Structure 1
Amino acid sequence: MSDRAALMDLMAPIRGRVVAASALQVVYAVSALVPFVCVAELARELLAPGPPDGARVWTIAAVAIGGLLVRFLAFGAAGAIMHFADADLQLHLRRRMAAHLARVPLGWFTDRNSGQVKKAVQDDVREMHHLVAHALLDLLAAVVTPLAALAYLLTVDWRLTLVTLLPVPLFAVAFAVMMRGFGDQMSRWAEANERINAAVVEFVRGIAVIKTFGQTQRSYRRFAEAVDDFADFFGAWVRPMLRLSGLSMALISPPTMLLVVLAGGALFVSQGWLAAPDVLPFALVGVGLTAPFLTLDMGSMRLRRAAESAGKVAALLDSPVLPEPEEPVAPEGSRVEFRGVGFSYDGETQVLREIDLVMEPGMVTALVGPSGSGKSTLAKLLPRFHDVTEGAVLIGGQDVRAIGSDRLYRHVGFVFQEVQLLRAPVAANIALGRPGAGTEEIERAARAAQIHDRILALPRGYDSVIGEDAHLSGGEAQRVSIARALLADAPILVLDEATAFADPESESAIQDALSTLIAGRTLLVIAHRLSTITGADQILVLDGGAVGERGVHADLLAQDGPYARQWAAYARASERDWTHDEEVVR
């Protein structure tokens, strides 16, 4: 779908009001011209040979006053209708986008940064405001007013009308040259803005870590480079346009138009082709004949930008949603099975292939392997962040695609390293998986997650809002997410080792909380520290998206294969870290 088509489709909910406001704007555009025409006609009447016709003079004056009244009423009504329509459209689109984002696969968000989503939901929808509330009406007036003025001038003298229009073709040529490649440049402009948005979000969200490791200058440099790149691109785009823009605007400016009208009028009068009073309508109306072209110029740019934004909003709304079964089934138990699972992000490159795995209730299964081996991808297939492209993932004998999201997330919980907390009270964040949970249940989960005392120390306790009066460390936020998983009480848990980057004090608290969380549950854990999974019931070693080895820790060491080599490397690294820590203490 083209950007223009997407724009028309998105505006469908307010189409009726747009038509009504457009009709009023046509009335406004014509009535705005009436006073000028009346002044010109009044002057022609008063300057004509012989005594003026009093009745006609008063009629002209009455028409002028009526035109002014109609102009103000039509303008106000059209503007009010479109502003209310714009507010409703923005609310409708944001609600629609929020509802759609709630239905896309969770893996969709891993492929996009926060800046891109924020730009679509906030900036691109806002970009459509000027189009709906202003540009459409301005563009309509910019077309109707010159046409009405042209029709009137043709009734006065068609020859001088053509002379008055002489600057217009020159303006059109200059404008066409100036607008060459505008669509491509606008696309680059939007991409540059997205990069700036992403850099800002990355800088702000990571400022604590950035300062901790003394990388403020490096992180700020990324933002500065994004801004500099935008400035270089924008300067290279706009600089050549400035001369043409100045020339094109000068060609249709009021002084130029007045000069053309007076020169043409003087010639016509001197040749006896036109009476002197008949030049006055051209001086009053003809001078303003091209004034709306400036609005047309700016409005067309706004229209292109709005169309570009509408295309991005439409693209987001067209993102494939997670297919939901018409008749969801219920899993029978918490046995997990991967049958011949294969997966590809783009439909071409296989990230996973021929994965077979059985997880019995209460069993701990660990995934290990080098970076890029497919551990995270495989783990995210269980809570259905993505759908498999080959084979099937089953829970309790039922394909996860047939279970339905609501029921699936009551059976599968997950705790990842990157904690996501809402800007909401701490209690609401813990009860996210069970919105109807009572205060006692929430506090019980928080105690089990070793975070209850820290929450009570907040200004408003459990009512403190994350990001406002509740500022938690990474380890504390992780324990809130563990409390959330405890309260949800899902029998199956996917765990991306939550202590991989925690400080020793937080690690101890998190490990205690995790011990409570995983008790009796079927666990699939992505292992970063091999020492934490030596007691796992089964370990899968992934290599290149396939299972290279599987077994328990002792058996895998005895095989002296990839796992044994990885364990040896891990042991050497741990020994170096321990030796270094001892030297620091000394």
Structure 2
Amino acid sequence: MRNWSAWGGSTTPCGRSRPGCAGWRAAMAIDPDPTTAVGADPTAEFSPVASAALSEQAAIDPRFWEAQYAKKTRPRHSEWWVFFHFLAWVKPYWSKLLLSVTTSLLGVTVSLVPPWLSKYLVDQAFPQRDWNVFWSILVAYCAMDVFWRISGTVNSILSYYIDLWVSLRLKRHFFQHLQRLSMTFLHGRPIGEHMFRANADIDAILRMITDLLPALIRAVYEFGLILVLTTFLDWKVTVLVLIYALPYTWFAHWLATVQRHLDRDARLRWQRYDSGVQEGLAGVMVIKTFARHRHEVYRYTHLFVDGWRQWSKFWWVARFREHSIGAFLPWIKEQGLRLWFFRMVIRGELTYGSVFPILSYMGRLTNPIQQIVDYVQEIRVALVPAERILETLEVLPAVTDKPGAKRMPQLQGSLRFEQVSFNYEDQRPVLHDVDFAADLGQKIALVGHSGSGKSTIVNLLLRLYPPTEGRLLLDGIDLADVRMNSYQQQLGLVMQDTYLFCGSIRENLLFSNLNASEEALVRATKQAEIHDWIEQQPEGFDTDLSEGTRLSLGQKQRLGLARALLRDPRLLVMDEPTSSLDSPTEQKLLVTFRQACKGRTTIWVSHRLNTVVDADLILVVHEGRIAERGTHDELLALNGQYKGLWDLYFGLAAPTENTLGS
């Protein structure tokens, strides 16, 4: 456990330490709503659903806004706009960054003084045997060396902590924003791409802000100071320097531009390679089942070779630039200047002492020129991932709390869909006038073929999307009028495939209710009939699920149910909870699930009709509409779509268009 007391921190009553320094508090500050964090909302004139759809399409294709809404939105951000946008993230630490840059500039200034002092050493101390001048210069040398080392250490420490704080703040904001985006956007791109942006792209931005920018300022300052010093020594030297610097800078800039384009292409190919590796690991079951090992190895090799070839081009250009700009041209410059200076000394136009500082400054001159070109190009290279990050940050969440939204009171369980419709902009409507109601303790079942709209109804209920038309009422309160978190914290959800995080059983269960007591934990696991199995584990609730503990599908579903019940929700959503189970396991779990649903309003989505025969109301969803409604017996007597699905499920009838859907 880290001790934060050195930073002004304190210790919580439970013994955990917490940070107290201003920088750390600023890094951990809650970020503003992402819809306003990056400026004006470009989709303000559209409906919420249309805004989400348009924003997501814009994120997938950056040319979307330019082609479709050029007159309604601002133009593509300039490099300067992107640069200053992310530079604003350093604002809480601006004083520390300024101190870091100041110490760095002082170090540069001090490092340029010794060559100037060597002039007096050669022209006065040695010829005149002036020991006072000699010892004064020696003491000055030692003092400046100590100061240079101290300033370098202070600068390194400040740079380290600035990088740490800004890294935490920016990565936290980006992850928080991703969590607020719709499932459509998150699933619309490979996970590897999101991971690449959250790591490599943000690291490139951090390097631009905390490393490259201070280094560029230092290089410009060093170049300017050298010009000033050489002007005092001999103005002709300054003219020669400028004559040399102009073509040198142009050639260095041209090579750096070529290198930047090659670097951009190489990064894109390595990003595809990372996504390919992630897909290969995620789909290993399918690969093994279909015996596609050779194909995947070939694809993996092709992606790697593609990235390696592009990176090789970048490497060769970088090496050529290093040896031409960094070695050959400076060598020619130094030899030419030596001949020029020795000629001036022989003619009596320069003293011997003046030659030493001039040669020293000329030797150092190439370095800041090359650094300026390099850092400018590297900053421009870093602006490419910065634009990608900004592109994601400008995607609007599908659902946001409207101004004045209130906290949802304790749910009682009364639910009503009131003429609800849902569709994306310029797409076929998904739901049409869905209308039904449920009281506390009732079980509402949603059945129908795949793609009929069942999952969309659940997504609207979970507030993953807002309805295009109509209202969702809970206990008579419109969900649009309440804060999203205050409502979602009172829901229980069991999905088709329960996702368990790396960690202990206790940590996975407490994910739904961090403040649950040990008694509530035991009660929920007993209700889910998984408590006995947990007690049989060597470490009980503290058994680590990431260390080789194998769980059956039934055990995972029971843990998922226990996690949902730990909230003691009045509204329970069961989304295909038994679809991946075999029949014996399903029958055992159905008893547990039905017992858990007592006293709660339950929305049960299922393709397996035997799991919904006890529902108080069955809704048959077909092409986004409620085609039929009633109890199991009523729908069978109706001899409609439900009867066809029932007969098909038990093998009593051949598939028809109504049972399979169009």
TM-score (norm 1): 0.83
Q: Closer, same or farther in 2 for the Cα pair 1:294/1:240, shift >3 Å? A: closer
Task: Provide the secondary structure at the position in 2 that maps to 1:355.
Answer: strand
Tell me if structure 1 keeps the 8 A contact 2:201–2:386. yes
* CA positional deviation for 1:114: 4.2
Q: Which residue of 2 aligns with 1:282?
A: 358
Q: Which residue of 2 aligns with 1:490?
A: 569
Q: Which of 234, 240, 246 is 1:157 aligned to?
A: 234
After superposition, give the CA deviation of every residue in 1:189-233 in whole Å (9 maximum; x if it has no partner).
555455444444444455567657756556666655544443344
Q: Which residue of 2 aligns with 1:13?
A: 92
Which whole-Å CA distance do the structure 1 matches of 2:297 and 2:585 have between them?
29
* CA positional deviation for 1:488: 1.9
Which whole-Å CA distance do the structure 1 matches of 2:492 and 2:225 have between them?
67
* CA positional deviation for 1:61: 3.3
* CA positional deviation for 1:411: 4.2
Q: Which of 222, 228, 250 is 1:173 aligned to?
A: 250
Which whole-Å CA distance do the structure 2 matches of 1:518 and 1:219 have between them?
45
* CA positional deviation for 1:480: 0.8
Q: Which residue of 2 aligns with 1:582?
A: none
* CA positional deviation for 1:295: 3.9
* CA positional deviation for 1:91: 3.2
Over the residues paired in the alignment, what is the CA RMSD in angstroms?
Answer: 3.8
Which whole-Å CA distance do the structure 1 matches of 2:89 and 2:390 have between them?
8
Tell me if structure 2 keeps the 8 A contact 1:493–1:521. yes
* CA positional deviation for 1:117: 4.5
Equivalent residue pairs, number? 572
**Mapping for residues 179-258 of structure 1, pairs under 5 Å:** 179-180=256-257, 191-205=268-282, 207=284, 211=288, 224=301, 226-235=303-312, 243-244=320-321, 246-253=323-330, 255-258=331-334
Q: Which of 387, 393, 401 is 1:323 aligned to?
A: 401
Query: Which residue type is aligned with residue 143 of structure 2?
Result: G
Q: Which of 535, 544, 569 is 1:465 aligned to?
A: 544
Which whole-Å CA distance do the structure 1 matches of 2:159 and 2:221 have between them?
18
Q: Which residue of 2 aligns with 1:65?
A: 142
Task: Provide the secondary structure at the position in 1 that maps to 2:365.
Answer: coil
**Mapping for residues 133-532 of structure 1, pairs under 5 Å:** 134-180=211-257, 191-205=268-282, 207=284, 211=288, 224=301, 226-235=303-312, 243-244=320-321, 246-253=323-330, 255-266=331-342, 268-269=344-345, 274=350, 278-300=354-376, 302-304=378-380, 306-311=382-387, 320=396, 322-323=400-401, 325-330=404-409, 333-345=412-424, 347-361=425-439, 362-468=441-547, 470-503=549-582, 506-532=585-611
User: Taking every aligned residue pair, what percent have the same amino acid on both sides?
Assistant: 24
Q: Which of 79, 82, 85 is 2:159 aligned to?
A: 82
Query: Which residue type is aligned with residue 517 of structure 2?
Result: G
Tell me if structure 1 keeps the 8 A contact 2:104–2:152. yes
Q: Which moved more, 1:359-368 or 1:304-313?
A: 304-313
Task: Provide the secondary structure at the position in 2 that maps to 1:288.
Answer: helix
Query: Which residue type is aligned with residue 171 of structure 1?
Result: Y
Task: Provide the secondary structure at the position in 1 that maps to 2:417.
Answer: strand
Q: Closer, same or farther in 2 for the Cα pair 1:12/1:265, shift >3 Å? A: same
Tell me if structure 2 keeps the 8 A contact 1:493–1:523. yes
Which whole-Å CA distance do the structure 2 matches of 1:404 and 1:494 have between them?
20
Q: Closer, same or farther in 2 for the Cα pair 1:414/1:198, shift >3 Å? A: farther
TM-score (norm 2): 0.74
Task: Provide the secondary structure at the position in 2 that maps to 1:340.
Answer: strand
Which runs of 5 or more structure 1 residues have no equivalent in the other structure?
577-586
Task: Provide the secondary structure at the position in 2 that maps to 1:75.
Answer: helix
Query: Which residue type is aligned with residue 152 of structure 1?
Result: L
Task: Provide the secondary structure at the position in 1 that maps to 2:128.
Answer: coil
Query: Which residue type is aligned with residue 258 of structure 1?
Result: E
Q: Which of 91, 102, 109 is 1:23 aligned to?
A: 102
Which whole-Å CA distance do the structure 2 matches of 1:108 and 1:243 have between them?
42
Q: Closer, same or farther in 2 for the Cα pair 1:490/1:107, shift >3 Å? A: farther
Tell me if structure 2 keeps the 8 A contact 1:106–1:386. no
Q: Which moved more, 1:113-122 or 1:565-574?
A: 565-574
Q: Closer, same or farther in 2 for the Cα pair 1:432/1:160, shift >3 Å? A: closer
Q: Closer, same or farther in 2 for the Cα pair 1:351/1:450, shift >3 Å? A: farther
Task: Provide the secondary structure at the position in 1 that maps to 2:510.
Answer: helix
Which whole-Å CA distance do the structure 2 matches of 1:385 and 1:562 have between them?
29
Task: Provide the secondary structure at the position in 1 that maps to 2:240.
Answer: helix
Query: Which residue type is aligned with residue 102 of structure 2?
Result: A
Query: Which residue type is aligned with residue 409 of structure 2?
Result: A
Q: Which moved more, 1:126-135 or 1:449-458?
A: 126-135
Which whole-Å CA distance do the structure 1 matches of 2:653 and 2:585 have between them?
19
After superposition, give the CA deviation of every residue in 1:312-352 in whole Å (9 maximum; x if it has no partner).
5555555545316543343774232222323345x442542
Q: Which residue of 1 aligns with 2:41?
A: none
Q: Which residue of 2 aligns with 1:580?
A: none
Which whole-Å CA distance do the structure 1 matches of 2:349 and 2:651 have between them?
103
After superposition, give the CA deviation of every residue in 1:567-586 in whole Å (9 maximum; x if it has no partner).
5655559999xxxxxxxxxx
Which whole-Å CA distance do the structure 1 matches of 2:653 and 2:638 have between them?
22
Task: Provide the secondary structure at the position in 2 that maps to 1:337.
Answer: strand
Task: Provide the secondary structure at the position in 2 that maps to 1:169.
Answer: helix
Tell me if structure 2 keeps the 8 A contact 1:167–1:252. no
Does 2:116 align with 1:51?
no
Which whole-Å CA distance do the structure 1 matches of 2:162 and 2:324 have between them?
37
After superposition, give the CA deviation of every residue in 1:73-109 in whole Å (9 maximum; x if it has no partner).
2221122122122222233344545555666667765
